[in-house]
Structure 1
């Protein structure tokens, strides 16, 4: 049948099982929005307050479900406003498809009104991108975009469509989506046998889990693997929930704000088994000193990650769920009692602690954990509150912590929380923000209200840019350059002005009461939680130091 380009866009979205898109209309994309209006009973459109919010919402939708998230924007500034969200998804391997519309083909390259080469702009931050100048190629291009976004190591794909192409007609024939298979082509028996030999010879193995284990759905295989090799487990920020954070073998996060147990344990192990991790600088600390007494076995779907940031002893390249399944099939149960006892003694000696009095970030996160029974989808912005949320909420399941790990995007959380709440209407979504981050995209409170989303926005408000201030305090002789937010912004009034409920809390008792009200509410609630401006994230590894040099507040006091 003959369809316009705009109609083809909608039909292709329906082919791919898309039920929700996030976006903001404009002149160049009007034809697509007109068709979207006609299909509003099949595809829900969430109008965000800003295109960046739309890209983060698509990201949150994707992270919380494993499906491809979709965002829409018009040409020029509409398209460029997606860039931060696309880059965030790229750094954390999140499958999103961004559809933008540009000026007509005859106007391209002529500095036309609201023209931008968005394909050129986003080339370094997408798995692939397209500008479709021929309507006959539009359907197959959109189908390919979804396939690429999901395949192997997931990531964002952008499709840019000139306005005249959305109006032109061509023959359209529906197709079933391509079934994306797990990436197993590079898994060799030789690599598996090398891995098995390293595992069987190890006396002090340690398992380090990253976001790849979440993406591949490898949690059950991972649990079986850990039980078989009898090893402790730590994770990266992106790996939260891949291994049950309440399991006795779990020792917490590794790296700059990792636990002493994980940092000491990895520094003492004789085999580090890295599963779906990219060895970021925040994990490694001083790369030359990282696990330098251990052999390192890396399991990852992306060959580009092998030996990129740290040289490994051996690797198996492929989907980590598939790799773990094949290793489990050949592994007999092992026992490392002395090693496990040693690590468990570290856990007992070096628990995460915080000041027992007053309202603080760690207390807030622990109380949220208790009151949600560990079953919420937690979302964060970036900074001290992000680390506290990683440290003090125990993630038993994957896809329950959504946070910007690679790009560290302030302003990510509220948009992502909207996407997650839309995708998971029966779950409680909580976004933890600092006051600095909340300011960046707090306009999305209006979106949450319009969509009647019962998400809870917790603002941990210390009236400073907390993480930067912490570095200034520790490493810049307390020169607080541009990090003090000494103005009169009232987040409670702001929330109420946008139609949400706003509650200010200053004590533990007030927080418990306010959070219970928020849980009972069916509408968005903003909690403005006032804490001390000098609270810090502990433990910490100084820049350039080895992770074994991790220190906490007591260590500084004892110097």
Structure 2
């Protein structure tokens, strides 16, 4: 079987339904193979847009997004899209064409060191130099991208690899030495977190994008109701918790509501789940949640303690860890704290000047009233903040933006 046909067949086995891309000479064999495939190809007008589209597909569906680009300028055009997916932990696979192996390093037409360029902004990347390694590389890519902390994986394909004849024997399983994402939290740390939760009088849950990536929104609702605790979200965590829920205070930080920020400032316990504590969330790190102990749950150990002090670190999958905490904690009424937060919510609502002119905030509010179940995507800028403030999401993956 031709390498290009094997690639497409492997993608079909992985359940790929859509690919976003632009054809070119170095990847033309793969495009030729797509003619006979059930996979739908969406032709873009720029490789950066192709990767952004694959990223958006991944965020909206929870599946791995796939983008194709040719060698040289096609590959280098993907870098901004890949970086966005890397920063926001979005599982995508980018396949780029490359000059034939015999020409690599010879400054051939449209040659670029794609793996070298993208190494800092990919979870992992490959250049396939042996046809016998083609299928195992694809299998590894589909394993690495969505597991652990999700992220982009790039596969660089020399043109002669896609034209080579190979035996199709797609691996059923994959084993990568040194890569074993930890999903279960340490029992001792989970028990300590549960103790702090039950001791707290003013608890707040800070929900990040990791809740959405872990598909842990149902568990988050149960946790908030079982404590009970108010929930604030990061920008990337927006839609992880229904904003019509009485315990939801919306998103927090530089552009968040005053009452959400007050709650985070005055609480005595922060239960942070799947968040990197970015500067837009924390403001001044030295004054972040000054009266609170902090529990930080994250799949990536590198994030814990990176930006803020942490009292109880728990490394693992958000869904699994929340389920374990729920087995231990007991409901505890916190009437004074509840009344205080609700007073702030009444006193400091989100507002804008209604002077008779058509305001963006008003338009977004009306869109929510008319289409409350629609998926919202934003650019970065003030439009992003207005949408985050005035479109009240109801279900996970309803708000798609870069954070």
**Range class of TM-score, shorter chain:** over 0.9
| Aligned-pair CA distance for 1:5 | 1.2
> Alpha-carbon deviations, 1:485-528, whole Å to 9, x = none?
xxxxxxxxxxxxxxxxxxxxxxxxxxxxxxxxxxxxxxxxxxxx
Matched, 1:71 2:67: yes
| Aligned-pair CA distance for 1:219 | 0.8
Partner of 2:361: 362
Matched, 1:402 2:400: yes
* Structure-to-structure mapping, 1:295-306, within 5 angstroms: 295-306=293-304
Partner of 1:473: none
Q: Is contact 2:376-2:398 (8 Å) kept?
A: yes
Instruction: Give 1:200's match in structure 2, choosing from 198, 201, 208.
Output: 198
Specify every segment of 5 or more residues in structure 1 that has no aligned partner in the other structure, as ranges: 406-559
Partner of 1:510: none
Q: Is contact 2:98-2:158 (8 Å) kept?
A: yes
Partner of 2:40: 44
Partner of 2:351: 353
Q: Is contact 1:104-1:163 (8 Å) kept?
A: yes
Partner of 2:186: 188
Partner of 1:120: 116
Q: Is contact 2:272-2:294 (8 Å) kept?
A: yes
Paired residue secondary structure (1:150):
coil
Instruction: Give 1:141's match in structure 2, choosing from 116, 137, 143.
Output: 137
Q: Is contact 1:104-1:164 (8 Å) kept?
A: yes
Over aligned residues, Cα RMSD in angstroms?
Answer: 1.6
Partner of 2:55: 59
Partner of 1:329: 327
> Alpha-carbon deviations, 1:364-401, whole Å to 9, x = none?
111110110x1001000110000000000001111011
Partner of 1:424: none
- For residues 271 and 7 of structure 2, the distance between their equivalents in structure 1, rounded to whole angstroms, comes to 44
- For residues 68 and 324 of structure 1, the distance between their equivalents in structure 2, rounded to whole angstroms, comes to 25
Partner of 2:148: 152
| Aligned-pair CA distance for 1:316 | 1.2
- For residues 290 and 329 of structure 1, the distance between their equivalents in structure 2, rounded to whole angstroms, comes to 30
- For residues 67 and 251 of structure 2, the distance between their equivalents in structure 1, rounded to whole angstroms, comes to 32
Paired residue secondary structure (2:260):
helix
Paired residue secondary structure (1:277):
coil
Assess, with a 3 A threshold, how the Cα gap between structure 1 residues 253 and 179 changes in structure 2: closer, same or farther.
Answer: farther
| Aligned-pair CA distance for 1:38 | 2.1
| Aligned-pair CA distance for 1:185 | 4.9
- For residues 329 and 284 of structure 1, the distance between their equivalents in structure 2, rounded to whole angstroms, comes to 30
| Aligned-pair CA distance for 1:174 | 3.5
Q: Is contact 1:184-1:322 (8 Å) kept?
A: no
- For residues 321 and 175 of structure 2, the distance between their equivalents in structure 1, rounded to whole angstroms, comes to 20
* Structure-to-structure mapping, 1:254-403, within 5 angstroms: 254-356=252-354, 357-372=356-371, 374-403=372-401
* Structure-to-structure mapping, 1:386-465, within 5 angstroms: 386-405=384-403
| Aligned-pair CA distance for 1:176 | 3.9
- For residues 167 and 312 of structure 2, the distance between their equivalents in structure 1, rounded to whole angstroms, comes to 51
| Aligned-pair CA distance for 1:333 | 1.4
Q: Is contact 1:15-1:177 (8 Å) kept?
A: no
- For residues 73 and 58 of structure 2, the distance between their equivalents in structure 1, rounded to whole angstroms, comes to 24
Paired residue secondary structure (1:160):
strand
Matched, 1:161 2:157: yes
| Aligned-pair CA distance for 1:332 | 1.5
| Aligned-pair CA distance for 1:178 | 6.0
| Aligned-pair CA distance for 1:404 | 0.8
> Alpha-carbon deviations, 1:73-122, whole Å to 9, x = none?
00001011111110000000000000001000011011111000110000
Q: Is contact 2:197-2:329 (8 Å) kept?
A: no
| Aligned-pair CA distance for 1:184 | 4.6
Assess, with a 3 A threshold, how the Cα gap between structure 1 residues 232 and 179 changes in structure 2: closer, same or farther.
Answer: farther
Paired residue secondary structure (1:315):
strand
- For residues 398 and 250 of structure 2, the distance between their equivalents in structure 1, rounded to whole angstroms, comes to 16
- For residues 179 and 239 of structure 1, the distance between their equivalents in structure 2, rounded to whole angstroms, comes to 31
- For residues 269 and 185 of structure 1, the distance between their equivalents in structure 2, rounded to whole angstroms, comes to 28
Q: TM-score scaled to structure 2, two decimals? A: 0.97
Specify every segment of 5 or more residues in structure 2 that has no aligned partner in the other structure, as ranges: none
Partner of 2:81: 85
- For residues 85 and 185 of structure 1, the distance between their equivalents in structure 2, rounded to whole angstroms, comes to 28
- For residues 328 and 184 of structure 1, the distance between their equivalents in structure 2, rounded to whole angstroms, comes to 20
Partner of 1:470: none
| Aligned-pair CA distance for 1:19 | 0.7
Q: TM-score scaled to structure 1, two decimals? A: 0.70
| Aligned-pair CA distance for 1:147 | 0.4
| Aligned-pair CA distance for 1:156 | 0.3
